[in-house]
Structure 1
């Protein structure tokens, strides 16, 4: 590596210099399109159809001055039949704030920033997505107030009359509302604030309330409405007909007066529901001094948690968001209730449930082991090693492939990779170890463009992002959907199963066993969810100032 200092100014004609990238049909530079913190691990990947003609890359600033020069490192990987030549570049030693671009064999990358505040705009965008998802009289963004008749009737309970289930968030690109993902999302928003209040107290609307808590209140109010009876709660509002009625705005929904609610309760739902309300009770007491709301949340959390042993043996037959275990969610509920009450019986339950959690090296709306181990490690340090076991799996997976993907491709790849980052952050908080910092950065950068497709998977973040997101509101707004993180690439076998294999497009040459498609109809690769965005908000909020 060589840092080059210029003691003279080279004047270049604007005819030959532009901030726009110079592209090629044979060679591509893949990197995080937003930028880096000064102390970050900074890398990019070069993929080429032809053998490399040069061995050195340069990094230039916005004045076209060469700032950094180093050699490429050719890699023993092969992407697919189209790209046989791959290289890795490392510019971690470049830590001066500024705007830069990479140049190699006359190909220029997108411009990127090095700055302490580079991720603040990502965080601010992600929070806006939840405003778009708002339902009912909650001051939504990009659509009018909607679904004020939720719910028209209750199915699965003796009294089938309608009840008030307005509010909350639409789960994804559709208009169904789920208790489980609302609980997960609400918990993640509250956990983020409690984890680092100095980072998550941002107040973009200047109303003296942290935006993340304002948004969490939307979820909390809906969750409390869902508990319509002493021994039951609503698990879902609206049914599959929602997916079959075509594109429409929520305030023009043909089912406005026919959106039933469904009563169902399993132990996983009990756990996340109670955990969300228990953590809320502390925050509303400590931050807002609202004892009435705090007590309501805590009392409801305790009441619902006590129902766990009256539920039949776990058999989750949910069509959507089916879960495969419940111990992690019950452990999370118990430890949060303990943290709010200091009642030792809840800590005892939390640790007992924690010991029964089976290994699961995964992160999603239903796989939260890493978070639970972090919470329990405060009371039993053996859970630190269990968290590290998850991270070791991610590290081994990352080391085995070209772009360092730490998590297998799935339906929700970006959410799972955000979970890798979250897990790394939690481990560092517990141990002060930087062992998994690079792993976290590679997973973060994958989401922002350091991937084979060269896509940032968050709308309007970076230079190349999804423009045909599977979402009703995006469809009617020329693709505009602020802060939406789409699910991202998925296994070709999964797309084939659902008959969603794309025709030839701009990504075809880069596809391999995983495929990405930027199409309105593709609900596997191109749909955002509130749960995915909640995890993304945590990680980019953490990296923000």
Structure 2
């Protein structure tokens, strides 16, 4: 016990210091599973030649492993030298650090339990994002949602849609991101139920209630979706708009005004371009939103029938109705803006129809839905951002097509589709020392999570190891093996280098980080420089690392790289629970 405590002390203190010498060694701060691919990355502003690195015991400083380095293109990150340091062959559990001359990495662990508790940890952020009753604040907000807008006959009427989650650090609520977040949490439970605990009740307070916390949170989302779809053919796509953006304030003290008294606008799904002011979106139909309702309802009905059979039957019926409605007006349904031209620019819907049909087939076993899934799945073999390496804001959403995973167990061609998407990313990362072939658009971390999810699904189906090193690199990227050496998840790992100053009212007003929240992540320099309203509030501690293809700031003033998002966080559920299950298996 004394040895372990000593190591933990060394580990945490090491996270808070920059490397000495001519460069920096970046690691996965959370640690490494013993039999997984294990790689660190050295970057340097100097032109240095390195042939070999040492792995040392963190307690005794003894060299336990030596290996040759692999040189990569440092210029993509504004550096002169970059090396990948692969110690995958070393599998002994313990605490270690890497040394090259006088350059040392932070200490890290190799152990089967390094991911334990991480899947439950990110639910802290989901509970913090709740609208209606908020367990983090122990207070309620937005109890008067809302007033219907853009409806042919019901505009101006009240509707009860209180609930759900705030989308990010603003208090808007979107059907697209909320339905996807709900589905992602259900998907994680479907695949990895054994890793989830029961430490919170349905209101988000500490205390068991006989239901796994991940299902409590997913049900919170489903209950809101149920309100947003009160009857067949009646669906609402969002609450509030960018008039919300009036500065930092807590949700229970929300002062944003929409000219509706204490109410917020609730946008009806029309299938036509929307926007109450000069800025309009490019909506063409209802399919993308209606199908997201259907997939979340169908999987929710499947998984909740043991816990709440009455509610499960209700949403099972709504799932079938939502799918039928999705087919009635084919096209995409985008979010609405008001003051600025920014909105979620979703342009694909066939992936939503495919996933909805898959989940209805899983729920009902009806051949009709299986044939529908095959029909829509063939239209878009690869999620477009994966093949093109570019996208506008939320242009191809969800960022991963989990319908392909369902069908891959039934038709080999869908396994090929999963592989093709990964291959496109792989071909873009071969010269990057961090093996990151993700386009650095706004919310790039969501794309990292999507690629990780697809890589894990593909491996689960095939056991093909082709993309395991890229998967490991993207996993490590989220926990500190990136140019800035920071985790992208607030509060994880404890004592590590993670976002301390996310763009959040919680941080600004309560001096706390948003525990469990996945931040937007680095963006291309040109995107960063062209976004409105960004102003750094402090000296940039990461200035030496901002000369590459993307920038990142741990600064409350940077909403483009350092704002946690609800849907990105929920989408991590499957991958983190998969890693925890993998460690427990050993």
Same fold (TM over 0.5): yes
Q: In 2 relative to 1, CA 378–82 (structure 1 residues): closer, same or farther, beyond 3 Å?
A: closer
Q: Mean alpha-carbon deviation: is it higher for 102-111 or for 265-274?
A: 102-111
Contact (CA 8 Å) 1:58, 1:66: kept in 2 or not? no
Q: In 2 relative to 1, CA 144–61 (structure 1 residues): closer, same or farther, beyond 3 Å?
A: farther
Aligned with 1:473 (options 487, 506, 515):
506
Q: Counterparts in 2 of 1:45-56, with a 5 A limit? A: 45-52=41-48, 55-56=51-52
Distance 2:416 2:253 in 1: 51
Contact (CA 8 Å) 1:38, 1:115: kept in 2 or not? yes
Distance 2:526 2:11 in 1: 44
Displacement of 1:339 in angstroms is 1.2
For the pair 1:277 / 2:311, whether they are aligned, the reply is: no
Specify the alignment match of 1:330 in structure 2. 353
What are the superposed Cα offsets for residues 404-449 of structure 1, whole Å, 9 maximum, x if unpaired?
Answer: 0031211111111111111111111211323322221110001111
Specify the alignment match of 1:311 in structure 2. 329
For the pair 1:507 / 2:574, whether they are aligned, the reply is: no
Displacement of 1:301 in angstroms is 0.9
Q: Counterparts in 2 of 1:351-500, with a 5 A limit? A: 351-357=374-380, 359-362=382-385, 366-462=397-493, 463-499=496-532, 500=534
Q: In 2 relative to 1, CA 72–27 (structure 1 residues): closer, same or farther, beyond 3 Å?
A: farther
Q: Secondary structure at the match of 1:310?
A: coil
Displacement of 1:36 in angstroms is 0.5
TM-score by length of 1: 0.91
Contact (CA 8 Å) 2:288, 2:326: kept in 1 or not? no
Specify the alignment match of 2:280 in structure 1. none
Specify the alignment match of 2:236 in structure 1. 234
Contact (CA 8 Å) 1:133, 1:140: kept in 2 or not? no
Aligned with 2:143 (options 127, 131, 148):
148
Q: Secondary structure at the match of 2:311?
A: helix
Contact (CA 8 Å) 1:72, 1:87: kept in 2 or not? no
Aligned with 1:267 (options 250, 272, 287):
287
Q: In 2 relative to 1, CA 170–507 (structure 1 residues): closer, same or farther, beyond 3 Å?
A: same
* Structural RMSD (CA): 2.5
Q: Counterparts in 2 of 1:145-224, with a 5 A limit? A: 145-159=140-154, 160-200=156-196, 203=199, 205-224=207-226
Contact (CA 8 Å) 1:193, 1:201: kept in 2 or not? no
Contact (CA 8 Å) 1:361, 1:393: kept in 2 or not? no
Specify the alignment match of 1:258 in structure 2. 263
TM-score by length of 2: 0.84
Distance 1:82 1:300 in 2: 52
Displacement of 1:259 in angstroms is 1.0
Contact (CA 8 Å) 1:410, 1:491: kept in 2 or not? yes
Q: Secondary structure at the match of 2:510?
A: coil
Q: Counterparts in 2 of 1:75-154, with a 5 A limit? A: 75-79=71-75, 83-137=79-133, 139-142=134-137, 144-154=139-149
Q: Secondary structure at the match of 1:134?
A: coil
Displacement of 1:203 in angstroms is 4.7
Displacement of 1:84 in angstroms is 1.1
**Structure 2, unaligned runs of 5 or more:** 1-9, 201-206, 272-285, 338-342, 387-393
Displacement of 1:310 in angstroms is 2.5
Distance 1:387 1:171 in 2: 29
Displacement of 1:468 in angstroms is 1.3
Contact (CA 8 Å) 1:54, 1:105: kept in 2 or not? no
Contact (CA 8 Å) 2:408, 2:415: kept in 1 or not? yes
Q: Secondary structure at the match of 2:140?
A: coil
What are the superposed Cα offsets for residues 112-156 of structure 1, whole Å, 9 maximum, x if unpaired?
Answer: 11111101243232111100000103x521452211111144442
Q: Mean alpha-carbon deviation: is it higher for 97-106 or for 490-499?
A: 97-106
